[in-house]
Chains A and B, each alone.
Chain A
Amino acid sequence: MPEKIIEVRQLSKKFGSFQAVSDVSFSVYKGDVFGFLGPNGAGKSTSIRCLNSLIKPDSGTVEIFGESITTHRESILGRIGSIIEKPDFYKYLSAYRNLEIFSRISGKPSSKQEIYKMLDFVGLGGREKDKFAGFSHGMKQRLGIAQTLLHNPDLIILDEPTTGLDPQGIIDIRNLILRLKNEQNKTVLLSSHNLAEIELICNRMVIINKGLSIVEGNVSDLMNGENLILRLEASPMPAAKNALLAWKPSLIWDNVGDSSVQFPIEKSEIPALTKFLIEQNIEIYSLEAKRTLEDYFIKIVNQ
């Protein structure tokens, strides 16, 4: 059993009469890239703020590296690097000066060379002396990542790290997270609205909604359920639709362009359907069975 890095038990937090988080529990293990999913207002940011000791929970416990964040705050925070919501820096200071300031109180102050190397690593080489105020959103995110990694933390907490980035920026951050996991065996907790991103990067995840943790487990296990969406590209399409109705009169499909439809199906039904369509002289160009995290997420959240 891998070492448990984060253990959150029955975490609850109320702001006035609003219950932001209610009874949230989850565990993150060493080497996990752990997805933290939930719609807006689900309580993700509140939970992450509790992990970083920014807000104090009303009840429940947060243990990181086997110790309580309440009693061992400083020693735990020294081993965490985080971006919460968005990286905010001093607008009137340069990229270098900003990193220097945060590094000085990180517990492991970095040398000038280390800061320059980190800026280079996140693609901000040559922009060291530029003021933060003049940075694009992508550059701000990169500087945030640099700040997170500079003191070589064991646990990295990234809250929506790809928000507002261009496609190349998203790929870069994604690759960076995978490198951190694969090359340095870092543990990453990733909160994101980009469900495809979670699907691509994370090995484990928790879904929370309305302040409650709904489901937790391996991404692959949660994705491999029996209920699938099948996308069929066939010709002629009117004949294919008639055949589908003949095969199952209750079938309801969505049109995807002129030559495709998609509909829910059980995994065990796919061979019989394929055989039936061929017997009806339908030309099948493609059959794509999928169960996306998005489908799963929407289904879970709407329950």
Chain B
Amino acid sequence: MILINSIYNEIIKIALKPRSYLGLAAITVLVGVIQFALKADGMSIISFVTSSFEQTLTFEGNVLNGNLVAFIILQMLLVQIPLLVALVTGDLVSGEAAMGTIRMLATKPISRVQLLLSKFIAGGIYTLIVILWMGVMSVVVGKLLFGTGDMMVLNSDGLVILQEADVNWRYLGGFAVAFLALFTVSSLSICLSCFTDNSIGPIVATMSVILLFTIIGTLDVRVFDPIKPYLFTTHMAAWRSFFEDPLPLSAIWRSVGVLVAHNVVLISVSLYTFHRKDIQS
């Protein structure tokens, strides 16, 4: 019961903190700007992509529809969203230490494990809300503004055409994996948050880790090859696999496995650290 009360507390604190709405506002503005740009001049961008196929293929109907627009938006923004998540979750422990409220919480009859778990769960709920809002803004609003139709995706294997009826479940799967990736970012930032009493440090450190791992992942250097498959950043774009045909199920499950393993390790390290920590703030 006290765990549920603590989760409720954490949600209230996130909900009433002005910073929490920064991410949602940023998504609204960014998606709005991209949708406006695509509405204004989207066909010329699409023509640039399709021109190379026009000798062999004929494109008919609403090519620039909501399904494609949402895909473009997600591809552009899912790189930035980790910052918006870390902005809130990176503050959950260290922000309390900086304010001194962690001292007040730790003198209450709730175990430190329960206290920290409630923060992970609340962080997860916030991440879910961010992803859902991203979904609403990109997919739902995209379809309202641009209509619907078959989806054309250009990936490393070439052009994939997905039937209109075959798209929605792919978005659901893609968002589920994207949530898992962002939850890993949330776990990383909370974990780093347990090591310091500075509220900004974990946010900057989280983004630095993501940047470092992304650079390692993209560098074509053989010495990094063995570790690349185990970096969580390698799997942050796994949501895109849902828009391949046929579906690369083994690759998706591998990504899910790596992300879950990261979460287990990060949460375990956090619980161990927080449980043993002397609260001196």
Contact = CB atoms under 8 A, between A and B. Distances in A.
A104 B114 CA distance: 14
Interface string A59-73: 000000000000001
Contacts of B279: 49, 54-55
Interface in A164-202: none
Interface in A84-106: 84-93, 97, 101-102, 104-106
Nearest to B9: A101
A88 B101 contact: yes
A107 B107 contact: no
B109 A106 contact: yes
Interface residues on A, range: 20 to 34
Given A92-B17, A97-B16, A49 B108 contact: no
Interface stretch (A26-34, A74-82, A235-243): A74-82
Contacts of B9: 101, 104-105
B12 A54 contact: no
B9 to A, nearest CB: 5
B273 interface: no
Nearest to B106: A54
A87 B107 CA distance: 12
A147 interface: yes
A56 B106 CA distance: 13
B87 to A, nearest CB: 15
A107 to B, nearest CB: 5
Given A88-B99, A105-B2, A93 B107 contact: no
A237 to B, nearest CB: 53
Contacts of B100: 85-86, 88
Interface string B8-40: 110011001110000000000000000000000
A109 interface: yes
A213 interface: no
A53 interface: yes
A73 B275 CA distance: 12
Nearest to B99: A88
A52 interface: yes
A105 B13 CA distance: 14
Given A92-B16, A92-B17, A56 B104 contact: no
B105 A105 contact: yes
B110 interface: yes
A54 B103 contact: yes
A78 B17 CA distance: 28
A303 to B, nearest CB: 29
B106 A53 contact: yes
B280 interface: yes
A35 to B, nearest CB: 21
Interface of A: 15, 49, 52-56, 73-78, 80, 82, 84-93, 97, 101-102, 104-107, 109, 147
Instruction: Identify the 3 closest CB pairs spanning chains A and B, nearest first.
Output: A88-B100, A78-B109, A55-B278
Interface of B: 2, 5-6, 8-9, 12-13, 16-18, 99-101, 103-111, 115, 276, 278-280
20 contacts: A15-B278, A52-B106, A53-B107, A54-B280, A55-B280, A77-B108, A84-B107, A88-B99, A88-B103, A89-B101, A89-B104, A92-B18, A97-B12, A101-B12, A101-B13, A104-B8, A104-B9, A105-B6, A105-B115, A107-B109
Given A85-B100, A104-B8, 5 more contacts: A74-B109, A84-B107, A101-B13, A105-B6, A107-B108
